[in-house]
């Protein structure tokens, strides 16, 4: 892995962990609920979305202190989405981030509430931050609610559930991926660039870069569900097959899925060039996401 991105990841992960912990401990939360929330936050995770947000902010010369709150917020929403995604009514998975899933460790009701708590806390974190202007808070709240809600990630989860057992067209599958995974990744890059001071044309190209990164990310997730190792990916292999999910490997075969992934990576690289910003971090993130083993 590229050293620069490697050390950036390591440094920002520990900063984010410390910030999220501080946010959660500053809230008056019933003990079991706090334990359940902290269990999933502390279980780890790659922190790709908030790291992308911080990298995009840095690419435009932004002050990191102003990007921390939205970075924590998007990771909190992502963590909530995983807790709910694993529930028996959804993917019914028992392992996440190398540990028993939240509902296995606690119980279903607690897991549902931990997810609800993380989702709403995310908006509190953004709107109560002192480093952001009111205008920025409105922008971030509007974009994050859209990206995570019934038009965004939640829409993707619904389409994913409805597609179980079906054979979709490539367009149909792409629409699921764009929403369930792409939207939070799109938000992350756009929010970071916006806070960093990108102009509207740059924002447009960064958004396009992020859309391809999002697709790339989920295609690799689908591939890892086939060829990954549970010990390495921290979640069960073969979950998609046992749930009859529509995935890239299921539709195109493994080779076809890899070919598609490479095309998305190339498109992400072109979009980044068009944004006209020099950022080895954003460039290296493309390969990192494409080649990730977990």
Q: Are 103 and 111 in contact (CB under 8 A)?
A: yes
Give the residue with the Cβ less far from ligand IPE, 181 or 250: 181
List phi, psi (to 5°) of 95: -125, 135
Q: Is 220 in the site for Mg ion (CB under 5 A)?
A: no
Give the residue with the Cβ less far from Mg ion, 58 or 85: 85
Query: Which residues 97-156 are close enough to bind ligand IPE by CB under 6 A?
Result: 97, 153
From candidates 40, 53, 91, 260, binder to ligand IPE by CB under 6 A: 91
Q: What share of the chain is helix, strand, coil (3-state, %, to 5)?
A: 75, 0, 25
* Angstrom distance (rounded) from CA 57 to CA 188: 10
* Angstrom distance (rounded) from CA 121 to CA 24: 8
Q: Is 218 in the site for Mg ion (CB under 5 A)?
A: no
* Angstrom distance (rounded) from CA 282 to CA 122: 24
From candidates 37, 45, 206, 209, binder to ligand IPE by CB under 6 A: 45
From candidates 75, 221, 283, 284, binder to Mg ion by CB under 5 A: 221
CB of 81 to ligand IPE, least distance (A): 4
CB of 50 to Mg ion, least distance (A): 20
CB of 231 to ligand IPE, least distance (A): 14
Q: Are 67 and 196 in contact (CB under 8 A)?
A: yes
Q: Name the site residues for Mg ion (rule: CB under 5 A).
A: 85, 91, 221
């Amino acid at each position: 892995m590229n050293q620069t991105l490697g050390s950036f990841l390591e440094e920002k992960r520990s900063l984010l962990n410390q910030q999220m912990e501080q946010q959660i401990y500053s809230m008056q939360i019933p003990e079991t609920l706090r334990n359940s929330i902290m269990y999933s936050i502390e279980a780890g995770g790659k922190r790709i979305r908030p790291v992308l947000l911080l990298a995009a902010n840095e690419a435009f010369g932004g002050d990191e202190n102003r990007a921390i709150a939205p970075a924590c917020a998007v990771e909190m929403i992502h963590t909530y989405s995983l807790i709910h995604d694993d529930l028996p009514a959804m993917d019914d998975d028992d392992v996440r981030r190398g540990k028993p899933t939240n509902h296995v460790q606690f119980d279903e009701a607690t897991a549902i509430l931990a997810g609800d708590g993380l989702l709403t806390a995310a908006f509190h974190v953004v709107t109560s931050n002192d480093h952001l202007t009111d205008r920025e808070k409105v922008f971030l709240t509007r974009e994050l609610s859209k990206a995570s809600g019934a038009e965004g990630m939640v829409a993707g989860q619904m389409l994913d559930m409805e597609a179980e057992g079906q054979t979709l067209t490539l367009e149909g599958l792409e629409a699921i991926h764009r929403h369930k995974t792409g939207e939070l990744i799109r938000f992350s890059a756009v929010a970071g660039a916006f806070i960093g001071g990108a102009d509207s044309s740059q924002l447009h190209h960064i958004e396009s870069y992020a859309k391809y990164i999002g697709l790339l990310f989920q295609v690799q997730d689908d591939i890892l569900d086939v060829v990954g190792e549970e010990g390495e990916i921290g979640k069960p292999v073969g979950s998609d097959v046992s749930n009859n999910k529509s995935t890239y490997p299921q539709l195109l075969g493994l080779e076809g899925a890899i070919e598609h992934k490479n095309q998305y990576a190339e498109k992400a690289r072109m979009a980044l060039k068009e944004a006209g910003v020099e950022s080895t971090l954003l460039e290296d993130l493309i390969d990192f996401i494409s080649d990730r083993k977990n």
